[in-house]
Amino acid sequence: MSLLELDTVSVGWPGQGPVLEDVSFTLERGARVGLVGPNGAGKTSLFHTIAGILPPQSGALRLSGQPVRKGQFQPDVALVFQQADDQLFCPTLIEDVAFGARNLGLPAPEVAARVADALDACGLSGLEDRPVTQLSGGEKRRACIAGALVMQPALMLLDEPSAALDLRSRRRLITLLAGMEQAMLIASHDLELLLDLCPRVIVLDAGRICADGPAREVLGNAALMAAHGQEVPHSLTPHDAASHGHSPQATA
């Protein structure tokens, strides 16, 4: 059984046209999949639908074989926002990371153990009492991930996780995500990050899936990337061929 299944899912706001239309794909446990597309393509709407915030108008959405319904708490799904400040709201780091686990009604010793494990995994041990307003951008991003980890989700939805990070923080983030066992959908304009983390990439544009396949094949397809407002990642650019007057061939 797949962890996540979408079967011809369409989503829209009342009185408006669809923001997602006939979206179908599956995601296996532990898989990491990149999500690529221009601004307004529907990536965030897709995340909100999977998290149970935005209900499908048609089609079927299942998590571990069970239908996902609007407003139904989904402890197996963790959504990490693009803007860390939208997610961090408690006075100190430890309070913020513990918030979700405490709201599950878990015993205090289990909450403490989960928080300690999450902080350690995210390289934040020793900062427990630091005000969240005094964390760096990279620390805030990892704090959001730690807050998700304490919920022990099967699936993490990460919206532009490397946005506004310096090179050192970005590399630390990639190392952190690469070592995690959860399945992930990662929406990002940082295509090199997706190449580092995701064997598979989905291209979404105007609410529809336009491509779904191996990351290097999809992201290396110059015609496909250009058609959907993207560029081939630098690491996949055939520099030698270009210097000899050759151009890469797009795949079908």
Tell me, yes or no, whether 163 and 240 share the same domain: yes
Buried b (16+ CB within 10 A) or exposed e, 35-66: bbbeeebbbbbbbbbbbbebebeebebbbeee
Domain identity same for 134 and 249: no
Cβ(20)–Cβ(47) under 8 Å? Answer: no
Check whether residue 24 and residue 147 sit in a common domain: no
Highest mean pLDDT among 9-18, 26-35, 62-71: 26-35
Verify that 111 and 199 share a domain, yes or no. no
Q: Are 212 and 173 in contact (CB under 8 A)?
A: no
Residue 250 has pLDDT above 60, yes or no: no
CA distances from 84 to 32, 96, 133 (A): 21, 12, 11
Q: Tell me if residue 143 falls in helix, strand or coil.
A: helix
Question: How many domains does the structure of the chain reveal?
Answer: 2
Indicate if 95 and 132 belong to the same structural domain: yes
Residues 2 and 62 in one domain: yes
**CB atoms near residue 162 (< 10 Å):** 22
- Name the nearest CA neighbour of 34 among 204, 173, 182: 204
Give residue-wise pLDDT tens across range 144-158: 999 999 999 999 999
Q: What is the pLDDT of residues 207-217, one digit of tens each?
A: 999 999 999 99
Place of tokens 């959908």: 185
Would you say residue 229 has pLDDT above 50? yes
Same domain, 144 and 160: no
pLDDT of residue 16: 79
Domain end position, chosen among 152, 173, 188? 152
Which residues form the domain of 121? 83-152
pLDDT at 193: 98
**Do 121 and 221 fall into the same domain?**
no
Same domain, 173 and 207: yes
**pLDDT surpassing 80 at residue 73:** no
User: For 38-47, 78-87, 171-180, 204-213, which range has the lowest pLDDT when averaged over its residues?
Assistant: 78-87
Given 152, 173, 207, which residue is the final one in a domain?
Answer: 152
Question: What is the structure's pLDDT at 246?
Answer: 46
